[in-house]
Amino acid sequence: MNEMVSPSAIEALQREMLKLPQAELATEHYFADGMYLRSVFRPAGTLIVGKVHKKEHFYIVAKGCVQIASASGSVTHRAPAVLVSSPGTKRAVLALEDSVCMTVHRTAQLDLKAIEEELVETDDTSPYGPGNVLKALGFCP
């Protein structure tokens, strides 16, 4: 089923999720000739509300199966899957199985904080900081 999910519904979901313990996500970072790849392991059952990206980039489901909900619909993707992610999109991703998802971005930056500033809209409500590191325990927006 491809039901659209409004950005306000995803933001409401994020507010409710912040009341629960947050997952520490195993994240790896790779750099090559003006490209940055972030690889995130998502245990089955993990629900993540992502930040809004400023630039178009690739989103790759490298392992497992995820359901992605956004204003353009709710779709299940099984690895291997390569998607083009449009700028300005807010989405929620549920890992239906243990999954590995990757994003690939164009940037000359090598510092994770600078990369986040260049590629991602500011989101003070996100429990994750640059590099996908969980902010201090007891985070409360």
CB 36 within 8 Å of CB 105: yes
The pLDDT score that the predictor gives to residue 2 is 65
Condensed to tens digits (0 to 9), the pLDDT of residues 61-88 reads 999 999 999 988 899 999 999 999 999 9
DSSP 8-state secondary structure symbol assigned to residue 21: P
Please name the CATH architecture into which domain 7-121 falls: Sandwich (2.60)
Among 34, 88, 46, 42, which Cα is nearest to 61's? 42
What's the whole-model pTM score? 0.88
pLDDT in tens, 41-64: 999 999 999 999 999 999 999 999
